């Protein structure tokens, strides 16, 4: 997906200049310009911070031009928008459901891929997940743990957290959190 063009489309549809978005989100105007030109690919946490200036969730960002479908209960693999970047696929299930109260992701990490250098922190909620394959380093509130296939986690989303594939093969996590902050 072309994140830069999508950001420009969303920003312009909200009738917002790059400078206004920069002011609202705390991101520099130059950074926004580079993203819109696809010269810089933002991490998930950086894009989330940028979208808070609109305000818009990551799910809304990636499904912006798709009409909501009433009474959709099944989401095929090709109907799960990818919110990830740089070797990390974050496939969101149920993105088009109006008023979602939880977020369910199928997370796929290439070897060495992570959620980004900056830890993720949400204003509220809880997060849990299960590693289905590979080896993941999970850091929560400064404490790191190594998780293998079959290992799970559950923590308050208000704690700084980060995920990283430290194995030689692709890793996968099925995760959920509430409220639906993506």
* 95, 43: one domain: no
User: Helices 18-25 and 29-36: crossing angle, nearest 10°?
Assistant: 120
* 121, 53: one domain: no
Q: What Å distances lie between residue 110 and 6, 86, 87, 163, CA to CA?
A: 24, 9, 5, 12
pLDDT in tens, 23-33: 998 888 899 99
* 106, 166: one domain: yes
* 172, 119: one domain: yes
Which domain covers residue 120, as residue numbers? Answer: 88-178
* 55, 101: one domain: no
Predicted confidence at residue 153, as pLDDT, reads 98
* 46, 95: one domain: no
Whether pTM exceeds 0.75: no
* 115, 50: one domain: no
Residues of the chain whose pLDDT is less than 50? none
Residue 83 domain flag = no
* 100, 150: one domain: yes
Query: What phi and psi, each to the nearest 5 degrees, are found at residue 90?
Result: -120, 95
Domain count, the chain: 2
pLDDT in tens, 152-179: 999 999 999 999 999 999 999 999 999 8
Residue 106 domain flag = yes
């Amino acid at each position: 997906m072309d994140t830069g063009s999508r950001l420009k489309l969303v920003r312009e549809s909200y009738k917002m200049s790059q400078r206004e978005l920069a002011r609202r989100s705390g991101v520099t105007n130059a950074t926004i310009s580079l993203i819109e030109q696809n010269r810089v690919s933002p991490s998930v946490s950086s894009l989330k911070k940028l979208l808070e200036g609109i305000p818009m969730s990551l799910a809304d960002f990636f499904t912006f031009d798709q009409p909501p479908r009433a009474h959709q209960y099944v989401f095929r693999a090709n109907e799960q928008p990818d919110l990830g970047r740089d070797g990390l696929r974050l496939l969101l299930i149920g993105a088009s459901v109006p008023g979602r109260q939880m977020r369910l992701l199928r997370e796929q990490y290439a070897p060495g891929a992570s959620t980004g250098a900056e830890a993720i922190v949400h204003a509220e909620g809880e997060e849990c997940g299960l590693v289905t394959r590979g080896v993941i380093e999970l850091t929560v509130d400064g404490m790191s743990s190594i998780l293998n296939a079959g290992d799970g986690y559950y923590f308050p989303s208000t704690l700084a957290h980060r995920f990283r594939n430290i194995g030689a093969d692709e890793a996968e996590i099925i995760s959920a959190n509430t409220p639906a902050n993506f």
